[in-house]
Amino acid sequence: MDYFPVEASQTTITELMIPAYANFGGKVHGGVILSLMDKVAYACATKHARHYCVTASVDTVDFRSPVEVGELVSLHASVNYVGNSSLEIGIRTEALNIRSGRIKHTNTSYFTMVAVGEDGKPTPVPGLLLQRHEDIRRFLEAMRRRGLARRYRQDQQNLKTALEIAQEIPLLQSEKCRIALTDHPS
Ligand SMILES: CC(C)(COP(=O)(O)OP(=O)(O)OC[C@H]1O[C@@H](n2cnc3c(N)ncnc32)[C@H](O)[C@@H]1OP(=O)(O)O)[C@@H](O)C(=O)NCCC(=O)NCCS
Q: What is the pTM of this model?
A: 0.93
Q: Is the CB of 114 under 6 A from ligand 1?
A: yes
Strand ranges in the chain using DSSP code E only, listed in sequence order: 3-5, 11-16, 52-58, 72-82, 86-96, 103-116, 127-129
Q: Residue 38 in contact with residue 111, Cβ under 8 Å? A: yes
Cβ density class 73-87: b for 16+ within 10 Å, e for less = bbbbbbbbbbeebbb
What domains does the chain contain, in order, with CATH numbers? 3-163 (3.10.129.10)
Q: Residue 108 in contact with residue 117, Cβ under 8 Å? A: no
Q: What is the mean pLDDT of each run of 10 residues along the chain (186 residues)?
A: 97 98 96 98 98 96 95 98 98 98 97 97 98 98 97 90 87 96 86
Q: Is the CB of 54 under 6 A from ligand 1?
A: yes
Distance 78 CA to ligand 1 centre (A): 19
> How high is the pLDDT of residue 186?
72
> How high is the pLDDT of residue 85?
98
Strand 127-129 to strand 3-5: parallel, antiparallel, or no bridges (unpaired)?
A: parallel
